[in-house]
Amino acid sequence: MSPPAAEHAPGLAPADGTAARARGLTKAYGSGETAVIALDSVDVDIARGRFTAVMGPSGSGKSTLMHCLAGLDTVSAGQVWLGDTEITGLKDRELTRLRRDRVGFMFQSFNLIPTLNARENITLPMDIAGQKPDEAWLDQVIDTLGLRDRLRHRPAQLSGGQQQRVACARALASRPELIFADEPTGNLDSRSGLEVLGFLREAVDRLGQTVVMVTHDPGAAAHSDLVLFLADGRIVDEMHRPTAESVLERMKRFDVVRGTTPSDGGRRNAVAPDEGVPGAETPGARDAGTLPNARPDDGRPDASPPHGGRQGSGPSVGGTPGGATGVAHPGDGAPRAGGPGGAQGSGEG
Ligand SMILES: Nc1ncnc2c1ncn2[C@@H]1O[C@H](COP(=O)(O)OP(=O)(O)O)[C@@H](O)[C@H]1O
Ligand SMILES: [Mg+2]
């Protein structure tokens, strides 16, 4: 079944098609009285070639949304498309191949293989798939991520920022259609976090990649073109052309009105969108692949989320109607530009 025509759903109007789409996406964990509705009939469009951030309190369904859109987790009801392919209903095998070929992942905990060096980690998903990397592309990725002189190092010999850059390169190696990053800066110091955000921005602006990133941090969200706000398993708000300040303001306002919004179904305790609730995440998506320890989300509290909220590279992509703030993107605050950011290819065999 092809995607439904463009009725309104949160998300950017597709500039260049829709990279992912969900209609009536519902995900329940457990059953009966103990059932948790992690996603409650979510409609969303992820525009191709854009950088979308997903924010919301711990437990609001951010990771679940990402996993369901990426085909890492099954849905309870509703439909999900990756490009024109409806993935709900695909057989495991087909889903695995689709994920491997078309989606890249990045996690808070990097998920590198400790016994492999950086280069081997980068090409692992493709090696598993029996695919040959495009060497010219790989060179570009490695150079822009500043990993040229680190390729023989193992993860333990690399800093956190370098490890996440390796994870970026791994995600980008196969040029996936869509990159999902679940709090990719959550374990990084602010400088490394800004670097990674700059790379993700570059991946969108220069390489035409599509990025969906879960974050708690308004500063990180400010690198995106669009922020989707999740609460109690629903998308309750969206903001185009975000800045750190406007996101923070929205979160405060959101927090204030939260008790009266229909979205607050009372299924869970209200938690300020500002998060700061460590240990509350209990994701349970299917394993991301053959990568050992490739848990989609390690549930660790944010170590030191980067702040600063500067746009990674120049103005946001145009055509973002309904800009809630009208505030122009601030200039480039990333310490380094010129690199693709990315995700890990899930390495299913
Ligand atoms: N495997 C699971 N089993 C049971 N409940 C789960 C599982 N994964 C997530 N949940 C619940 O679903 C809700 C959404 O979780 P999650 O998507 O991880 O939220 P977020 O990423 O926004 O913190 C939470 O209430 C969480 O406890
Ligand atoms: Mg999460």
Closest CA to 292 of 124, 179, 164: 124
Q: Is 118 a residue whose pLDDT tops 70?
A: yes
Instruction: Answer yes or no: is 274 within a domain.
Output: yes
Share of residues in the chain with pLDDT > 90 (%) = 54
For the residues 284-307, what does the mean pLDDT come to? Answer: 36
Q: Is 39 a residue whose pLDDT tops 90?
A: yes
Please give all residues whose beta carbon lies within 6 A of any atom in ligand 1, as ranges.
29-30, 36, 38, 56, 58-64, 281-284
Q: Which of 25, 40, 64, 73 to mutate to test the pocket of ligand 1 (most atoms within 8 A of CB)?
A: 64
Instruction: Answer yes or no: is 30 within a domain.
Output: no
Predicted pLDDT of residue 302: 35
Count of positions (residues) in the chain:
349
Tell me the three state secondary structure of residue 156: helix
Predicted pLDDT of residue 335: 33
For ligand 2, the distance from its centroid to the CA atom of residue 242, given in whole angstroms, is 21
CA distances from 101 to 139, 157, 210, 289, 346 (A): 20, 30, 14, 13, 9
Instruction: Answer yes or no: is 80 within a domain.
Output: no
Instruction: Answer yes or no: is 192 within a domain.
Output: yes
Place 257 in a pLDDT band, splitting at 50, 70 and 90: low
Name residues whose C-beta falls within 8 Å of residue 1's C-beta, 6 or more positions apart in sequence: 79, 86
Residue 47: both structure tokens together: 């525009």
CA 101 – CA 167 distance, rounded (Å)? 16
Range of 142-146, 195-199, 243-247 with top mean pLDDT: 243-247
Instruction: Answer yes or no: is 38 within a domain.
Output: no
Mean pLDDT of the chain: 76
Instruction: Answer yes or no: is 326 within a domain.
Output: yes
Instruction: Answer yes or no: is 98 within a domain.
Output: yes
Q: Is 278 a residue whose pLDDT tops 60?
A: no
Predicted pLDDT of residue 233: 97
Ligand nearest the Cα atom of residue 285 = 1
Q: In what order do the strands lie in the sheet with 178-182?
A: 234-240, 226-231, 51-55, 211-214, 178-182, 103-107, 344-345
Predicted pLDDT of residue 256: 61
pTM above 0.85, yes or no: no
Minimum mean pLDDT range among 55-59, 208-212, 292-296, 318-322: 318-322
Predicted pLDDT of residue 145: 82
Instruction: Residue 248: give the domain boundaries.
Output: 46-71+89-345
Instruction: Answer yes or no: is 17 within a domain.
Output: no
333 or 93, which is more confident = 93
236 or 261, which is more confident = 236
Identify the residue whose C-alpha is closest to ligand 1 atom 8.
Answer: 283
Predicted pLDDT of residue 326: 27
Predicted pLDDT of residue 10: 67
For ligand 2, the distance from its centroid to the CA atom of residue 284, given in whole angstroms, is 10
Ligand nearest the Cα atom of residue 55 = 1
Q: How much helix, strand and coil, in percent to the nearest 5, is found in the chain?
A: 30, 20, 50
For the residues 336-347, what does the mean pLDDT come to? Answer: 35
Name residues whose C-beta falls within 8 Å of residue 346's C-beta, 6 or more positions apart in sequence: 72, 99, 100, 103, 104, 105, 125, 288, 289, 291, 294
Ligand 1 atom index nearest CA of 64: 17
What's 161's domain CATH number? 3.40.50.300
Q: Is 108 a residue whose pLDDT tops 50?
A: yes
Identify the residue whose C-alpha is closest to ligand 1 atom 2.
Answer: 284
Number of domains comprising the chain: 1
